Each structure stands twice: as C-alpha cells, then as structure tokens.
Amino acid sequence: MTGVRDRISVQPLENVPFYCPIPPAVHPCVREIDRASVDWMLQRQLDTSAHQRQRLVRCDFGGLTARTMPYGQPGALTVVAKLHAVLFSLDDALCDESTASAHGLAHATSRIMRVLEAPVPEWPDDSPHAAALRAVRLELAEHATPAQLRRWTEGMRTYLTSLVWEAACRRDRALPSVNDYAAMWMRAIGMAPSTALMDIAGGYELDDRDLDRPEVRALTEMTWTLVAWDNDFYSRNKEIQRAGDNLNLIDVLAQERGWEPARAQEEAMAMRDRVMTLFLRLREQIWPMAGVELRCYLVALGHFVRGHLDWASGCARYLDPYGAGEGAEWWKPLPSDDSPAPLPIPSIAWWWDQLEAGCYRRHSRRRSDLHHDRREPGVSTAAARTGGAGMAGCSARAG
C-alpha cells in the first residue's frame, strides 16, 4: 500500500551539487562517539528487525554528531549521538512508512512528550522509543541547566507535533502547497531540538533575550530549513525507491508550478541557495553587535549546515539506489541564486525583513567559521583552540 496519493510514477533525478562556503570540521572523538551511541542503541533494542538494526548501525551517528557539533564536549556529544539514534529509529518506525497515520502518531508522540516533560517515574507500558528518550532526557540533565532543558523540551515539542502534520500530508490526495511544505518540513525535520542542544554541547549558556531577537530567530529557522531542504535533494531517490514517497520540495514545487521534476529541481536549488546567501548576510550583519555566547551560537548554526552535508555525502543510509549520484560533484563554488529579494513564500518571507539595506555583499568578510576566529579581545589563541573542551571564552561553567 502506498497511501492515498499515487507515488509510483515519480522520476529519479541526477544529484545536484551544494553551495556552502563554510569550512568543514570534525570532532576528534568521532569514532568513540559513534561506538558508544551504536552500542547503547543495540542495548536498548529499539528495533526487532535485524535488517533495520543493521541499517541503523550504518547511519554513522557519531559522524553526524561530530561534524555538526565539532566544538562540543565529548560527554554531551555522546548524549546527542544517542538522541540521533533514537530519532532515526523513531522516524523509520513511525513516520516514513506508508501506513503511518496522523491519528496513530498523535497518540505515540503525545506519550513521548509527556515522558520528556516528566521523566520520572518510569511508566510500566513504555514503548522502547519512549524509554530510550526518557534515558536521554535524564542523561542530558547532567550537562544542561534548567533553562537549557526547557528549551530542548520545547524543541522536541515542535518536532513531535509536526510529525502529525507530516503524516497528514502523506495521506492527502495531493501534495501540500510550497508555503505549507516550507512551514511544516523545517519543523518536522527535527532541527528544533538540535539547535537547542548547541549551547549545551558547547559548554556555555545562551540568554533567552538573544534567542528571541527576530534576526536570531530567522537565522535559527533558516538553519532548520537548509537542513530540511538539503535532505530533500540527497534523499529523494532513496525515498522513491524505498517507499514511493514524493513528499519533498522538488515534487511539491513540480505539482504547484506544473513543471517536470528536472525543472523543479533546478528551481528548488535556486531557492535553497537564496536562503543560504541570506543566512550568510544576516549572520554577518549581526556579528559586530553579538556577545561571545551569541557568536558561538551563530558559528554553531553554520557548522550544522555544513556538517550535515559532509555527513550525508558519505552516509550509507543515503546511497542512491539508482546510481544517479555516481561521479557527481557534491560541492559548487557559487550559488545559483544570490538575490537579496525575498522568496515568494509567505511562511518564511519575514526572514528577509531582518536584513538591513546595504548588507548585500556576495561573500562574508569574516575570515572563517573556525572557533579561534570567534574570540573576543582578551581570549588567547591557545585558549580558543581547545577543540573538544567546549567553545573557548563561551562558558561560565566549568567542565
């Protein structure tokens, strides 16, 4: 059964390269983090299928974590990698399959959400995923302040409630509009809890007043969207082959505009590149007025966008079943669209309102996203290069 919408005739496409002028980075404990998260996942027995367990083992949770948060403290990063393991398993078990319903997901995600809000005592009828997320929540409390835990819990609420919306979209006769899809997918991709983990992993604490600034909120949502749309480009062929699933930016755009998929893919990449260039411009605009903790966060957002692509480029989970990506370039030096004009998508158009006139330079003048370039006066270069020990100069807490 493929659901209400006919997905059988969807065409596979050649892979397209990505524009992301943010330097790559990886945490030195990448292999240790991966082994710890995989061992933990297998002990938790999240999946009864041997095939599915093997599929998850090959996901490289340590690589995803170490590349998207290369600045993190090893203990906190291990918790983040465990969370990735649970969410990937949860996604495969409850969200991606054609039989998933909004009704069933509402029940499952509401129970999980309550577990995260009140992790003790244990429930006698916990599902394996709920029990694993309870353990992650309790372990995360060893690394986070109450305010940070609150923000992460709210991020999980954003993610879990959006899974119900996603399931409803999968059961509809038609794909959603581009506007609806943009609003839904940046939340259902699971990035809200990930951005809430950045200061926890880095060993510093953001101020709510900084996070609530409209321009910082816009950058946060852009990070969610870039990860979500990038996922659509590299996973589309795999999802078509595995589940006949065409709920992605390319096919949503093709339906709305009446285009062939190849033309829609070209336009979708132009949209994605316009968001990428806005992200770089707005981050540069904020930089001079940002304190050290906010600068750490701004850099962390960029690391996630780049690290996610670095991880996906070699992840066995996303090997193209049609061979369309063989020999294809993964990176490109310039964006296909760097216009400062807003995309005609009402749910995200407000991002461009945060950009001041005159901030339309093509490239940032900041030297790089390396951590020692974020230091404030008085923070030594040596102290700023403490890779696995948190972001230098960002933490008022030891450890």
Structure tokens at 221: 């949502």
Contacts 24+ apart (CB under 8 A), 3-8: 3/98, 3/170, 3/171, 4/171, 4/172, 4/173, 5/170, 5/171, 5/172, 5/173, 5/174, 5/175, 5/246, 7/240, 7/243, 7/244, 7/245, 7/246, 8/244
Domain boundaries, the chain: 30-389
Q: What is the reported pLDDT for 7?
A: 45
Task: Compute the distance between CA of residue 63 and CA of residue 58 in angstroms, rounded to an integer.
Answer: 11
Q: What is the reported pLDDT for 171?
A: 82
Q: What is the reported pLDDT for 51?
A: 80
Confirm if 111 and 105 have CB atoms less than 8 A apart: no
Give the global pTM.
Answer: 0.88
Question: pLDDT of 312-328, one tens digit each?
Answer: 999 887 775 555 555 57
With a CB cutoff of 8 Å and minimum separation 6, the contacts of 382 are none
Task: Compute the distance between CA of residue 190 and CA of residue 251 in angstroms, rounded to an integer.
Answer: 21
Name residues of the chain where pLDDT drops below 70. 1-9, 95-100, 243, 320-327, 358-399
Classify domain 30-389 at the CATH topology level: Farnesyl Diphosphate Synthase (1.10.600)
With a CB cutoff of 8 Å and minimum separation 6, the contacts of 298 are 219, 283, 286, 287, 290
Question: pLDDT of 87-137, one tens digit each?
Answer: 999 887 776 655 668 888 899 999 999 999 999 999 999 999 999 999 999
Cis peptide before 146 (omega within 30 of 0): no
Q: What is the reported pLDDT for 23?
A: 97
Structure tokens at 172: 């509809």
Task: Compute the distance between CA of residue 154 and CA of residue 50 in angstroms, rounded to an integer.
Answer: 33
